[in-house]
A = this chain, B = another copy of it.
Amino acid sequence: MSRQVTYPADTVVILGLGLIGGSLARALRRSGFSKRFVGYGHREPSLRRGVELGVIDDFTLDLDQAIGQADILVVCTPTLVAADMLRDILPRLAPGEGGPVITDVASVKGCLRDAATGAVGAVPPRLVLAHPIAGSERSGVEASDADLFINHRVILTPVEGNDPAAVELVRAMWASTGAEVVDMAVDEHDAVLAATSHLPHVLAYALVDALAQSAASADIFRFAAGGFRDFTRIASSDPAMWRDIAIANGPALLDSIDLFSEHLGRLRQAVVDQDAQELFNTFTRAKQARDEFAAVLAERGQRKS
């Protein structure tokens, strides 16, 4: 007697088989969410490597073939490439209820919503935008890791007109990786990520670049210590990825930069005025907020790991 195993989605097609796409495939294979994983991309060697590593079962270099066999199609390219991919994919789909559920992993959501709207007039019912907040300093399918999303947040940004079944399938997919899935509006996502991630990266890049170009740069880096290392760690991030994010999330990033600059300007004025009370009050408020944040983050890690 044979037992019939059913999968939430038989075939998952990964467009762009790097760290995130490869880790997703590994996690979904382990969880039993799907039975077959197919890679699509332009670089045959890395797709071949994905097969060798057992991350994917097969690959194709043909986009229509990729779409044709997918139950879920996950666009795992960087943000701006993902927008181009959507412009390429969406017009190929038959109108109506059928076809694969399409989702992505990009760091900015508004630009993908806009790309979809520009390409086919609206976000299609089965295109569900999502953003796993996870990563690694390593990259490429070789670094892929089935545990990458455990304890991490994945933000879904469903829009009006999305097919509820498609949203629930994407939610179930991410839940099966061990991630905590939450919903957010597209613009809210982009504003929150601008504040907590995109702005800090821009600040770290600006600081390191300013110091590196200053006359005393040799001494500056010679005498910097652990606090500076932590503060500037994110300036070691991939420049191409962050260029794309800064372009893709321009308006929200500018709002964040301006909010920050206003607060920095107030502290600057307090230094000019030697206003000890204002400096103390601001530093104290910030320390309280940061200590609370650190406690929440520590608790979250403890509860789940």
A interface with B by C-beta (< 8 Å)? 133, 152-153, 155, 184, 188, 191-193, 195-197, 199-214, 216-217, 219-225, 227-240, 242-244, 246-247, 250, 253-254, 257, 259-264, 266-268, 270-272, 274, 276, 279-280, 282-287, 289-294, 296-297
Which residues of chain B are near A284, meaning CB under 8 Å? 239
Count this chain's copies in the assembly: 2
Minimum CB–CB distance from A195 to chain B (whole Å) comes to 5
Main SS at interface, chain A: helix
Partner of A224, one of B217, B232, B282, B293: B293
| Contact assessment for A239 and B283 in the assembled complex, using a CB-CB cutoff below 8 Å | yes
Q: How far is the CA of A287 from the CA of B223 in the complex (A)?
A: 18
With contact pairs A220-B192, A225-B196, A235-B286 given, residues A274 and B261 touching in the complex (Cβ less than 8 Å)? no
Which residues of chain B are near A196, meaning CB under 8 Å? 211, 220-221, 223-225, 228
With contact pairs A206-B267, A289-B208 given, residues A227 and B220 touching in the complex (Cβ less than 8 Å)? no
Minimum CB–CB distance from A124 to chain B (whole Å) comes to 26
Q: How far is the CA of A133 from the CA of B191 in the complex (A)?
A: 37
Q: Which residue of B lies closest to A226 (CB)?
A: B297
Which residues of chain B are near A274, meaning CB under 8 Å? 247, 250
Which residues of chain B are near A291, meaning CB under 8 Å? 236
| Contact assessment for A206 and B263 in the assembled complex, using a CB-CB cutoff below 8 Å | yes
Which residues of chain B are near A237, meaning CB under 8 Å? 283, 287
With contact pairs A202-B267, A221-B296, A236-B291 given, residues A283 and B192 touching in the complex (Cβ less than 8 Å)? no
With contact pairs A205-B286, A236-B290, A287-B236 given, residues A276 and B247 touching in the complex (Cβ less than 8 Å)? yes
Minimum CB–CB distance from A215 to chain B (whole Å) comes to 10
Which residues of chain B are near A188, meaning CB under 8 Å? 216, 219
Q: How far is the CA of A197 from the CA of B284 in the complex (A)?
A: 18
| Contact assessment for B227 and A200 in the assembled complex, using a CB-CB cutoff below 8 Å | yes
Which residues of chain B are near A289, meaning CB under 8 Å? 208-209, 211-212, 217, 221, 235
Q: How far is the CA of A239 from the CA of B288 in the complex (A)?
A: 10
| Contact assessment for B243 and A280 in the assembled complex, using a CB-CB cutoff below 8 Å | yes
| Contact assessment for A205 and B283 in the assembled complex, using a CB-CB cutoff below 8 Å | yes
Q: How far is the CA of A278 from the CA of B235 in the complex (A)?
A: 16
| Contact assessment for B234 and A230 in the assembled complex, using a CB-CB cutoff below 8 Å | yes
Q: Which residue of B lies closest to A133 (CB)?
A: B225
Which residues of chain B are near A205, meaning CB under 8 Å? 267, 282-283, 286-287
